[in-house]
Chain A
Amino acid sequence: NAGVTQTPKFQVLKTGQSMTLQCAQDMNHNSMYWYRQDPGMGLRLIYYSASEGTTDKGEVPNGYNVSRLNKREFSLRLESAAPSQTSVYFCASSFLGGAQTGELFFGEGSRLTVL
């Protein structure tokens, strides 16, 4: 049972470089999310997709773009990375909207360092 799979697990970038974090889920979930987790800040929502074909901004969307490629896949792109984007990024999915059930399934995280 793969669940939510994120790639890459680790990445080091230089300031100004771009990259895409990939996320795929095999649970036939409708909603998908990208969070970042920083020490002392908790989990903060970057973008989410309530269903295939829709995306919405979360708390901290600046500097990021997303694509809901199909029902399974939701990617996060950093167009011009900045040191402030050094963080651990988590993708999550849920069958219903997260606030309805609260039961999100998380990937194992992608650790990004921007030098």
Chain B
Amino acid sequence: EDQVTQSPEALRLQEGESSSLNCSYTVSGLRGLFWYRQDPGKGPEFLFTLYSAGEEKEKERLKATLTKKESFLHITAPKPEDSATYLCAVGSQGAQKLVFGQGTRLTINP
């Protein structure tokens, strides 16, 4: 059974303090690993797709990386507007559906 575990559950940083969020996964044949951002009271919004170990994707202050067992979402010099819950999901070969982790709630204090 595909599983996704995210850590930490919550992270509080000062503005400009860089850090990383972790997404560990077990899947029978990885089709892709996906990161989403969710603001309070809103639906998740797609950020990145990673397909193979060693791949990296960047968007503004965010960089996602992938190994064979986990993915990291690195946040460089974050701003208060980066505060959100970040969700990780995996898709396995031949499967229609994604399996989501529980999310990391990130708070950036000014």
Residues of A within 8 A of B (CB): 4, 31, 33, 40-45, 48, 50, 56, 58, 90, 92, 97-109
* Other contacts beyond A99-B31, A100-B31, A103-B49: 14, CB < 8 A: A42-B100, A43-B100, A45-B97, A48-B97, A90-B44, A99-B32, A99-B95, A99-B98, A101-B32, A102-B32, A102-B46, A108-B42, A108-B43, A109-B42
Contact with A along B90-110 (1 / 0, CB 8 A): 011001111011110000000
Which of A40, A97, A102 makes the CB contact (< 8 A) with B89? A102
CB of A42 within 8 A of CB of B87, answer yes
Report the number of A-B residue pairs with Cβ-Cβ less than 8 Å.
Answer: 69
Residues of B within 8 A of A (CB): 4, 31-34, 41-46, 49, 87, 89, 91-92, 95-98, 100-103
Bound Cα distance from A56 to B95, whole angstroms = 12
Which of A40, A44, A99, A107 makes the CB contact (< 8 A) with B96? A99
Among residues of A, the one whose C-beta sits closest to the C-beta of B100 is: A43
CB of A102 within 8 A of CB of B102, answer no
